[in-house]
Amino acid sequence: MHFFLQLLVIILASFISHKHEAKAAYVPPYTSIVAPVTKHTDAAKPLYSVEIMTTYVNMQYLHANFLIDIDAPFIWHDCILQWNPYPGSCPNNTLCTYPVSCEEYQCTDVRTTYSYPNLPSCPPANNASTLPGWGYCTCPVNVVSPITTSCTQALLNYDDFTVYTSNGRNVFTGAYGANPNAACAPSSTFASFPKNINGVMAFSSSPCALPAYLYQPLKRSLALCLPSTLSSRGVLFFGSGPYYLLPQSDVDLRSYLSYTPLLKHPDSFGYFIGLKSIVIRRRSIGLPTNITTKLSTIEPYTLLRTNIYNQVVRVFSFYTIGIPPANPVPLFSVCYSTITRMILRLVPDIDLILSNGNKWTVSTANSMKQVTRDVACLAFVDGGVTPEHEIVIGTFQFEDNFLEFNLENSSLGFSSSLLRRQTSCSNFNFTLTNSY
């Protein structure tokens, strides 16, 4: 009998061990989350939004568009706080969320460490407000509009966002949830935003931005592919890859990437890179070693400090002397007549030589902005004599480029123009497939 008991124990132990091994070895079928990206031109400048699911109502998720901001310290959007929401208590077409109390550590963290810079127009934060029937103070925090730079007070909350999962090629019906602390801002705050955008989604390196709330098994890597047209969608991934675009359904976009280190800036949660020089054909424009080059999803065109801009214009104009000039158009000072579109083939590439020696090529599609039917302009802008950052690379230079912000090893992967590889950021297949 003793022998049989020992044998039974061994069999059970083996079964439990194999069960735990199988559980530990489980690898989910998705490698990333995925969301569509839309271009908007109905505001003061071109902007881009990402579509996120916000709440579950009547057996389906509601979708909302959030402005993509890779510099914002935290998420904020059009919503109201309710401490005891119940079915039917939230007004129609309104998102209701739970408040964070001013006595909670999240309130202190956002106010003191992960906040927007205090502007003269920002009201002082206080703990005087509460909600009807709720015995605690709310947590007012200041938010700054990336469009108008005006400051508004919002209330910190506990939020709930949902996105679809993907293996880089397909979008699954399975959902991935995140529960960040965000803030509810008044509806009037979004009057200057493009139509149907009523929030700012922070994708910065801040511990209060969305990437900080996207946990295992996802790798901490944000991939962004901005569309160049209003009629088609780009794509945003967060995870480890692979990433595929049609028609090259078997080519992982990571094979196109070159890399350079992401740098930290003491006054920003945004992303910065080192730039050594700007090369136009054989002419190199050297840059000071101490300058900062910022990446922005808010600035539409690359900004260059005046002395750098003047050098770029001088060299660029030398190599485009055969193209008929046109009168300058507001924002741009270097414009050309393009009655014959074929003439743009004479425009040289602009190569950004990075700190590690790798080259980010800005092709004609990302250097020349067609502003009218017959006029195209150099999409690099004079940023002034004493700007905050000497160089800011804007979204026109991002369009149809695949960018991977790897937050685990602090590197930026960049593809240069995908158009030269016979694809574009609008070629991801968003057709939903069955969950796993």
Residue 12: inside a domain, yes or no?
A: no
The mean pLDDT value of the chain amounts to 91
CATH for 101: 2.40.70.10
Based on the domain organization, do 43 and 162 belong to the same domain?
A: yes
Residue 427: inside a domain, yes or no?
A: no
Residue 309: inside a domain, yes or no?
A: yes
pLDDT digits (tens, 9 = 90+) for 155-182: 999 999 999 999 999 999 989 999 999 9
Based on the domain organization, do 294 and 223 belong to the same domain?
A: no
Based on the domain organization, do 214 and 297 belong to the same domain?
A: no
Residue 14: the pLDDT is 53
Last residue of a domain, one of 203, 222, 243: 243
Based on the domain organization, do 223 and 258 belong to the same domain?
A: no
Print the domain residue range for 331.
253-421
Last residue of a domain, one of 213, 243, 273: 243
Residue 173: inside a domain, yes or no?
A: yes
Residue 5 has pLDDT above 50, yes or no: no
Last residue of a domain, one of 189, 217, 243: 243
Based on the domain organization, do 261 and 239 belong to the same domain?
A: no
Residue 89 has pLDDT above 90, yes or no: no
The torsion angles phi and psi of 424, rounded to 5 degrees, stand at -155, 170
Per-residue pLDDT band at 3 (split at 50, 70, 90): very low
Based on the domain organization, do 302 and 411 belong to the same domain?
A: yes
Residue 22: the pLDDT is 44
Element housing 250 (H / E):
none
Rounded mean pLDDT, 369-381: 95
Based on the domain organization, do 205 and 273 belong to the same domain?
A: no
Q: How far are the Cα atoms of 13, 28, 36, 141, 154 from residue 68, in angstroms, in the given order?
A: 52, 28, 11, 20, 19
Residue 436: the pLDDT is 64
Residue 335: the pLDDT is 96
Based on the domain organization, do 133 and 42 belong to the same domain?
A: yes
Based on the domain organization, do 82 and 164 belong to the same domain?
A: yes
- Which of 148-173 are b and which e, b meaning 16 or more Cβ less than 10 Å from the residue's Cβ? eeebbbbbbbebbbbbbbbbbbbbbe
Residue 29 has pLDDT above 90, yes or no: no
Residue 151: inside a domain, yes or no?
A: yes
Residue 431: inside a domain, yes or no?
A: no
Of 28-42, 93-107, 216-230, 336-350, the poorest mean pLDDT is in 336-350
Q: How many domains does the structure of the chain reveal?
A: 2
pLDDT digits (tens, 9 = 90+) for 293-336: 999 999 999 999 999 999 999 999 999 998 999 999 999 999 99
Residue 237, strand partner residues: 34, 223
Based on the domain organization, do 77 and 197 belong to the same domain?
A: yes
Residue 8 has pLDDT above 80, yes or no: no
Are the beta carbons of 54 and 182 closer than 8 angstroms?
A: no
Based on the domain organization, do 81 and 225 belong to the same domain?
A: yes
Closest Cα to residue 362, out of 425, 424, 414? 414
Of 180-194, 211-225, 294-308, the poorest mean pLDDT is in 211-225
Rounded mean pLDDT, 128-133: 88
Residue 1 has pLDDT above 50, yes or no: no
Rounded mean pLDDT, 77-105: 88
Based on the domain organization, do 238 and 257 belong to the same domain?
A: no
Residue 127: inside a domain, yes or no?
A: yes
Q: Which of the listed ranges 74-88, 94-108, 114-128, 341-355 does the model predict with the highest average pLDDT?
A: 94-108
Largest CA distance in the chain: 100
Residue 342 has pLDDT above 80, yes or no: no
Residue 19: inside a domain, yes or no?
A: no
